[in-house]
Amino acid sequence: MVELGKTCRLPVVKQVEFGVYLNADALGQVLLPRKYVPENCAIGDEVEVFIYLDSEDTPIATTRKPLAEVGQFAYLQTIATGAYGAFLDWGLDKDLLLPFAEQRQKAEEGRSYLVYVHVNRADERIVASAKIDKFIDKTPAHYRNGEQVEVIIAGKSDLGFKVIVNQQHWGVIHNSDVFRNLRYGQTVKAFIKQVRADGKLDVALQQGGKQELDKQSQLILKRLKQANGFLPFSDKTAPEVIYAELAMSKKAFKKAIGGLYKAGEITISDDGLHAAK
């Protein structure tokens, strides 16, 4: 089914001087302007397009990729304000309206906000809302421990960082699992650490388990070999330095070097790590 605010593949049914028309089912024939028509496009060809509304609220197609589709959260910049609200850059010719009623605070030009893109059922227009909590799925989440997910950094609390998991559920990255700088609105890869009894999600930036530990241990050994058997890292090294140099958390680093030490692969001194002779 063809939906407003979504990407789809549509067949070309008519060619005109200013573009081609696509069959968009219930939305009728939708124009793909000439500047977006693929080379050698002919009637019967299918084109992947995004459907939205032009300045006259008529459905129109584009081959450009928006920064967010209907049903998604995104961190978008305000490029102008007007009588009806703020206008956000979402990567298309026509900007996305963030109505005053959907702002948590008055939007300012040049600033970015985490918003949810949806169709306003009152007038069937695509708009944004900064009141994101009402669009989060509150039903219990079903994930496996260790499952890879994508998260958006949505806030900071005493526990850590509040995140939106896979565009659906709330999750938390606890302070103890944060080993690099995270920015509000940033999208990062993460892993499910635990699905709690209440259905809430604890999320980590690195996957746990023996497989990940082995991978990190091998990385340390490789770096030791490249550095002629010495790395200037220890328990006292700052977490941000560990991440910058080895792409792992301080916690993961300590586990890895502990295992390597017990296996006789390395020795640990005040100045750092030494490959065992």
d(C-alpha 179, C-alpha 160), whole Å: 11
Q: Between 175 and 115, where is the model more confident?
A: 115
pLDDT given for residue 209 in this prediction? 56
Among candidates 160, 154, 100, which has minimal Cα distance to 127?
Answer: 100
Please state the rounded mean pLDDT for residues 80-106: 96
According to the 3-state scheme, what is the secondary structure of 13-45? EEEECCEEEEECHHHCEEEEEHHHCCCCCCCCC
d(C-alpha 140, C-alpha 160), whole Å: 21
pLDDT at 210 > cutoff 80: no
pLDDT given for residue 205 in this prediction? 87
**Positive or negative CA dihedral for 75, 77, 78, 84?**
negative
Domains for the chain: give ranges and CATH numbers.
7-62 (2.40.50.140), 73-134 (2.40.50.140), 148-204 (2.40.50.140), 210-275 (1.10.10.10)
Q: Rounded to the nearest 5 degrees, what angle is found at the Cα of 190, between the Cα atoms of 184 and 191?
A: 140
pLDDT given for residue 151 in this prediction? 97
Confidence of residue 198 (pLDDT cuts 50, 70, 90): confident
pLDDT at 38 > cutoff 60: yes
Q: Rounded to the nearest 5 degrees, what angle is found at the Cα of 90, between the Cα atoms of 84 and 96?
A: 20
Question: How many secondary structure helices (H) and strands (E) does the chain include?
Answer: 3, 18
Query: Would you state the structure tokens that stand for residue 143, as one six-digit string?
Result: 């994930």
Rounded to two decimals, the pTM is 0.79
Query: Would you state the structure tokens that stand for residue 68, as one six-digit string?
Result: 């967010």
Confidence of residue 213 (pLDDT cuts 50, 70, 90): low
Confidence of residue 250 (pLDDT cuts 50, 70, 90): confident
Residue 216: what are its φ and ψ, rounded to 5°?
-70, -40
d(C-alpha 33, C-alpha 20), whole Å: 7
Query: Would you state the structure tokens that stand for residue 37, as one six-digit string?
Result: 């028509």
Identify which of 56-70, 171-185, 227-241 has the greatest average pLDDT: 56-70
Q: Any residues with CB less than 8 A from the CB of 30 and at least 6 apart, and which?
A: 10, 21, 22, 24, 51, 59, 60, 61
- List, in sequence order, every residue forming a beta bridge with 32; answer none if it has no partner: 20
Identify which of 69-73, 221-225, 234-238 has the greatest average pLDDT: 69-73
pLDDT at 58 > cutoff 60: yes
**Positive or negative CA dihedral for 75, 80, 82, 87?**
negative
d(C-alpha 137, C-alpha 140), whole Å: 8
